[in-house]
């Protein structure tokens, strides 16, 4: 999507993981998402910030 809002399939493609894994991460709150009309939506900006934070924490371990 061009507006930076991703569905489950787009998140799975973006992270190169299975859709089922994305559903689990969204439902457990590990990926910030909002449910609209039965569909989960994720802001790409939030996903990128979350990814950057995780990488930063991992880099501190070295």
CB 33 within 8 A of CB 41: yes
Rounded mean pLDDT of 7-27? 96
Cα–Cα dist 11/37, whole Å: 18
Give 39's contacts (C-beta < 8 A, 6+ positions apart).
7, 8
Q: Which domain holds residue 29?
A: 5-60
CATH of the domain at 10: 1.10.1660
pLDDT in tens, 25-44: 999 999 999 999 999 999 99
Tokens of residue 9, six digits: 């399939």
Q: Number of folded domains in the chain?
A: 1
Mean per-residue pLDDT over the chain, rounded: 92
pLDDT band of residue 16 (cuts 50, 70, 90) is very high
- What's the maximum distance between 2 C-alpha atoms anywhere in the chain? 43
CA-wise closest residue to 26 among 44, 45, 11, 5: 11
């Amino acid at each position: 999507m061009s507006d930076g809002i991703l569905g489950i399939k787009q998140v799975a493609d973006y992270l190169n993981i299975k859709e089922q894994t994305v559903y689990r991460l969204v439902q457990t709150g590990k990926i910030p998402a909002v449910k609209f009309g039965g569909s989960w939506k994720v802001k790409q900006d939030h996903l990128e910030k979350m990814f950057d934070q995780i990488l930063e924490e991992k880099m501190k371990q070295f």
